[in-house]
Structure 1
């Protein structure tokens, strides 16, 4: 069975395909040098129309009643959350606009809103060169350097000097460590459970933040900040794996690129790239399971735990929940051997 591979490599060749979801304009040429934060393609998502049924939303008895409570006019600009219709009285009921746009029609107790077209920009994500242009869609970018792939990211891209605050893999990033000396840096900070740390990063501002793990409750804050945030391990209180910690420690104060998309279905993962002048070999995104591989468990009851695959179990194994699946024995520590379905494992490739 093939497994997804997480790369933690001191030197590799990195090739990424960056494309628009719709036809647009490509802004780069073949053999052009790019930075990770360069926009390589852009497009406009066509305007969409949203129908708001006021009569049904307010449970009114007739179209005429619905028409009377609509408080907007055709041609009017509105914003998400604006009141479209209101019943009035002591306990008024309201219908609000679902998105920014313009009212294009009011009829039959319904309001049609034209939602504004949205610009899309695709970033290179990798410092390197354009090796292929994909007409009206994007490009293929190739670069060289050290690579650490993460478990979660907030979909941002930035570059800057990496400053490592960790003296050990299990340290926590606290408010006391966030000072003005970190302004403009990509900071490596360990575990985090305080949302104010992320907000302070916005105020400094940071160029990026690499954490081993953070509380799941911090996701809305992490998504709201303008700088990229990457987790190397996942959610909870999980120390950084030794391979990533060592690679980061030996490259402290280097310029890096941090790209943090998180779209597993599309094969896009957050990545820390440390550009290097040497040429590395490309790394495969998938590998076959085999004994002695370092693996990470993706699901409960051992989420994000790293261990060593001891052996693949023959045939199908009956799991505690009654499901029969292909599985393997994984050693998490000297005294802990667990059985994990292969679907809940990924291989960690490190050099």
Structure 2
């Protein structure tokens, strides 16, 4: 029986097809074959509105519910603008209750008005420059493009694009506050490792358009997750340098436009991605490959996390120290060290 492994993409040129879908039914704004930019809206859906409860009795100074309801001048379902009169008393010293914001009268009950606040629809962006390959009515579309692709292992679920700027001269170079300044505004910056919160905060203040790191100290994960710009880790948590293949690919594409898609779902085997569009055609990557001698692999878990190596020999059954037998492979790392690791610790670089 063939031993299949997931792939980890580090590709200088490939053909990407990315599904962009609404979570609820909405309206698709593009057609099949249409050219789109990353910031183009491809679909939109109504966003759930907020509600305000307005107490007519308190606002108008009346005691009885029946009096309050008699003074209301709007009906359920009516649209109102900011400043529109909702209810009022008559006479010389009249009181007026006005709509504080635009919205819709959702309900009237016991002298109170429930106002559903008008909200902007949720807009789904293309995320990548490319072509609409397929449209799914009321849901979204597939956007395809050609370019370099590097997958990471963690992202903060933001997306953006900018000019790729290498701040790391080596794969393990730390990202420090002193290398950041206003000239980096609009850039996607690359650092090796990061253990200083000040570096992340300063990058956000400039602001840069995105951050690519090999790894990040564990205490900084909440800060990275809260930033209003994409952060992608290529290797994981700790002090793990960027692997050689990814570092070389980033280095050779300096000053190109790069797109960070830090939205991902590990339960669906999705990974955060770095995409560099290129004016050439590539072929679609494989998502699962049979392990064979000579393949380039990435080790995903400690103590060799982030290391790149070559498959020397797959093993259908390997006895661990715990006494458990697992499928495994003997790997020669780039430093010529040979290790045997379970297959669940390996990803094919493809």
Equivalent residue, structure 2, for 1:274: 276
Equivalent residue, structure 1, for 2:72: none
Equivalent residue, structure 2, for 1:317: 318
Contact (CA 8 Å) 2:193, 2:240: kept in 1 or not?
yes
Equivalent residue, structure 2, for 1:169: 171
Q: Give, in whole Å, the separation in 2 of the partners of 1:343 and 1:221.
A: 30
Q: Are positions 1:302 and 2:304 aligned together?
A: yes
CA displacement at 1:20 relative to structure 2: 2.3
Question: Post-superposition, which runs of at least 4 consecutive aligned residues in structure 1 deviate over 6 A?
Answer: 45-48
Q: Give, in whole Å, the separation in 2 of the partners of 1:271 and 1:332.
A: 25
TM-score relative to the length of structure 1: 0.74
Alignment of 1:122-271 (within 5 A): 122-271=124-273
- Cα distance 1:173–1:334, how it changes in 2: closer, same or farther (>3 A)? closer
Equivalent residue, structure 2, for 1:81: none
SS at match of 1:221: helix
Q: Give, in whole Å, the separation in 1 of the partners of 2:293 and 2:124.
A: 39
Q: Give, in whole Å, the separation in 2 of the partners of 1:152 and 1:175.
A: 22
CA RMSD after TM alignment: 2.5
Contact (CA 8 Å) 2:240, 2:305: kept in 1 or not?
no
CA displacement at 1:120 relative to structure 2: 5.0
Q: Give, in whole Å, the separation in 2 of the partners of 1:325 and 1:23.
A: 45
SS at match of 1:320: coil
Alignment of 1:27-176 (within 5 A): 27-44=29-46, 121-176=123-178
Contact (CA 8 Å) 2:235, 2:305: kept in 1 or not?
no
Q: Give, in whole Å, the separation in 1 of the partners of 2:346 and 2:121.
A: 37
Q: Give, in whole Å, the separation in 2 of the partners of 1:334 and 1:173.
A: 25
Q: Give, in whole Å, the separation in 2 of the partners of 1:224 and 1:176.
A: 22
Equivalent residue, structure 2, for 1:8: 10
CA offsets 1:7-28 (integer angstroms, 9 cap, x no match): 1122111111122233222232
Equivalent residue, structure 2, for 1:64: none
Deviates more, 1:295-304 or 1:275-284: 295-304
SS at match of 2:9: strand
Equivalent residue, structure 1, for 2:55: none
Contact (CA 8 Å) 1:37, 1:157: kept in 2 or not?
no
Contact (CA 8 Å) 2:36, 2:132: kept in 1 or not?
yes
Q: Give, in whole Å, the separation in 2 of the partners of 1:46 and 1:306.
A: 46
Contact (CA 8 Å) 2:294, 2:312: kept in 1 or not?
yes
Contact (CA 8 Å) 1:46, 1:118: kept in 2 or not?
no
CA displacement at 1:119 relative to structure 2: 6.6
Aligned residues: 283
> Unaligned regions of 5+ residues in structure 2, if any?
51-106, 108-118
TM-score relative to the length of structure 2: 0.74
Equivalent residue, structure 1, for 2:54: none
Q: Give, in whole Å, the separation in 1 of the partners of 2:121 and 2:326.
A: 44
Contact (CA 8 Å) 1:127, 1:257: kept in 2 or not?
no
CA displacement at 1:134 relative to structure 2: 0.7
CA displacement at 1:46 relative to structure 2: 6.3
Contact (CA 8 Å) 2:308, 2:334: kept in 1 or not?
no
CA offsets 1:265-295 (integer angstroms, 9 cap, x no match): 2232211111111111111122111112221
CA displacement at 1:331 relative to structure 2: 2.1
Equivalent residue, structure 2, for 1:56: none
SS at match of 1:313: strand
CA displacement at 1:256 relative to structure 2: 1.6
Contact (CA 8 Å) 1:259, 1:270: kept in 2 or not?
yes
> Which has the greater radius of gyration?
2
CA offsets 1:115-137 (integer angstroms, 9 cap, x no match): xx997553323220111101111
CA displacement at 1:186 relative to structure 2: 0.8
Q: Give, in whole Å, the separation in 2 of the partners of 1:43 and 1:4.
A: 34
Equivalent residue, structure 2, for 1:93: none
Equivalent residue, structure 2, for 1:344: 345
> Unaligned regions of 5+ residues in structure 1, if any?
49-103, 105-116
CA displacement at 1:307 relative to structure 2: 2.1
